[in-house]
Structures are given as structure tokens and as C-alpha cells.
């Protein structure tokens, strides 16, 4: 009987990881020559929007955000609102029972720390310091913090969502059990700061359009020759 040791895939070396990321970036640039940047929101708005986007799609999270902003025109009104009413207002975003109290708590914590519902001081911080500040809020992980730093503040963070995590595992850029936090560090270590916004957006588009979670469209994918997932099923 063959040894189970032979079935264990060795972790890729740093050189292999770099080559795979570079090939992926080249292919993304071929597929998506340009990127349309999102309108920048104030940092606190981006933080709340990103919290609402956790474990849901963009349509639902934006709907919940717009409804919240419409009912409560300022963040101080949200912070002072009954948490049950906040939950009902953001119901469309999913997991409202978790997100409502979380948003209210973060707003109150920001005001206690800053004396205002404002975190624009992050603009003067380095990427690492800004991430560290955001991560101290309960319910804010690396992806959420990175989205705020990238989309609102223009800092070269690299948020890792489910699409990026899935694709990176299939291509052997990371291991099957590696976390989104480790994945973010790998991409940060192998990309130029100025490339990260577009690269992040491109991979998400690719994950939604071609490299689906179920039934990916491998026949039209230019990365399939180097894809471990495809190779194992061919």
C-alpha cells in the first residue's frame, strides 16, 4: 500500500509563490486592462459599510447602508438610537442581530476616544498603524480594516475575501488550510503597493465571473494549466 506521505503536498517555496502571483497578476491585467475605482467614503462610513458587508453580498450590504443613512442622517443619531431599531433598519444586510449592536458599540467607542464620530486621523497614520487602530474594535478583522485603509484612505492594503481565498488555494499560492490573514500577508509581500487596489478588484471580478465556488468555468480560464484544483480533477 502506498504511503500516505506521498499524498501530502509540500508547501510552495517563496520563489514559487512569487512566480504564481506574478502569473496571476499578468493574467488579470490581460482580462481587465483598467479598473473603475469606487467613490471614496469618509473612513467611518467605509468602516460601517464594510461591517454591513460581512457575510453578505454587495447588493444587500449597500441597501442596508443606504437605509441606515436615510433613517439616521448622522452617526451620532445611530449611536443614540435604540439597538432594536438599528437592527430592523439594517435587516436587509443579513446578520442584523450581530451587526446592529456592533455598529452602535463602535460608534460610541469612537466618540469616547476621539470626541467626534470621525476617524479621519487614520489618513496621517502608516498602513500598519492604521490597521492596528482599526483592529482594536470588537468585530473588526483584518479584511474589514484593510478595506477601510484601501478604499477610503488610499493606503496600499490588500483585503482578502472569500473569492481571493478560494482562488489562491486553487492556484497553490497558499495552502488548503491557510487563513485569510496569512493570505493577505503573502500578497502584501509579493506585490507593489501601487498595484494592490486593481489586483484586489480584478481577482474578485474573476472569482465572481469565472472561478466560481461551484462549477468554475475552467474551460475558459487561462490559469488552468497552473491550477492545482483543475489538475486534481482532470
Each as own residue / partner, the long-range contacts of residues 21-25 (CB below 8 Å, 24 or more positions apart, any chain) are 21/173, 21/186, 21/187, 21/190, 21/191, 22/190, 23/223, 23/226, 24/167, 24/171, 24/173, 24/203, 24/223, 25/191, 25/195, 25/199
Distance set, CA 66 to CA 38, 69, 95, 210 (Å): 16, 5, 17, 30
Known active-site residue 37 = no
Residue among 99, 104, 143, 198 flagged as catalytic: 143
How far is the C-alpha of 2 from the C-alpha of 11, rounded, in Å?
21
SS3 at position 228: helix
Residues annotated as catalytic are 143
Amino acid at each position: 500500500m502506498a504511503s500516505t506521505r506521498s499524498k501530502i503536498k509540500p508547501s510552495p517555496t517563496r520563489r514559487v509563490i512569487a512566480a504564481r502571483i506574478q502569473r496571476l497578476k499578468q493574467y488579470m491585467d490581460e482580462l481587465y486592462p483598467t479598473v473603475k475605482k469606487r467613490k471614496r467614503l469618509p473612513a467611518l462610513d467605509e468602516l460601517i459599510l464594510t461591517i454591513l458587508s460581512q457575510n453578505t453580498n454587495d447588493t444587500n450590504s449597500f441597501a442596508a447602508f443606504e437605509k441606515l443613512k436615510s433613517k439616521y442622517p448622522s452617526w451620532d443619531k445611530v449611536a443614540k438610537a435604540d439597538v432594536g431599531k438599528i437592527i430592523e433598519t439594517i435587516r436587509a444586510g443579513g446578520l442584523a442581530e450581530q451587526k446592529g449592536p456592533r455598529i452602535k458599540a463602535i460608534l460610541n467607542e469612537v466618540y469616547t476616544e476621539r470626541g467626534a464620530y470621525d476617524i479621519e486621523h487614520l489618513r496621517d497614520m502608516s498602513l500598519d498603524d492604521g490597521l492596528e487602530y482599526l483592529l482594536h474594535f470588537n468585530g473588526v478583522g483584518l479584511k474589514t480594516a484593510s478595506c477601510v485603509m484601501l478604499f477610503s484612505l488610499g493606503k496600499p492594503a490588500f483585503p482578502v475575501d472569500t473569492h481571493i481565498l478560494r482562488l489562491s488555494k486553487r492556484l497553490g499560492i497558499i495552502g488548503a488550510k491557510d487563513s485569510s490573514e496569512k493570505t493577505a500577508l503573502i500578497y502584501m509581500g509579493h506585490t507593489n503597493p501601487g498595484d494592490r487596489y486593481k489586483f484586489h478588484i480584478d481577482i474578485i471580478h474573476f472569482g465572481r465571473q469565472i472561478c466560481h465556488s461551484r462549477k468554475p468555468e475552467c474551460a475558459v480560464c487561462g490559469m488552468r494549466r497552473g491550477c492545482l484544483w483543475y489538475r486534481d480533477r482532470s
